[in-house]
Amino acid sequence: MILGVCKWLSYKLGWDVTIIRIAFVIAALFFGTGVGLYLILWIVKILSK
């Protein structure tokens, strides 16, 4: 992923980054929410610095 959200989220949650990336891809392909959720988390990431 481009903006570093998955790595940031994996650090915050203590999960493996690969699992989070796979979850975003599945959410984008099957539910259509992955891209929107990714952008929202990117904004949260920027504002939390």
Query: Are residues 9 and 41 in contact, defined by beta-carbon separation less than 8 angstroms?
Result: yes
Provide the greatest CA pair distance for the chain. 32
What pLDDT score was predicted for residue 30? 86
Query: Are residues 38 and 1 in contact, defined by beta-carbon separation less than 8 angstroms?
Result: yes
C-alpha neighbours within 13 Å on the C-beta side of residue 23: 13
What pLDDT score was predicted for residue 1? 54
Two tokens, residue 32: 């259509």
What pLDDT score was predicted for residue 18? 93
What pLDDT score was predicted for residue 2? 66
pLDDT by 10-residue block (mean), the chain, 49 residues: 82 93 87 84 88
Amino acid, single-letter form, for residue 37: L
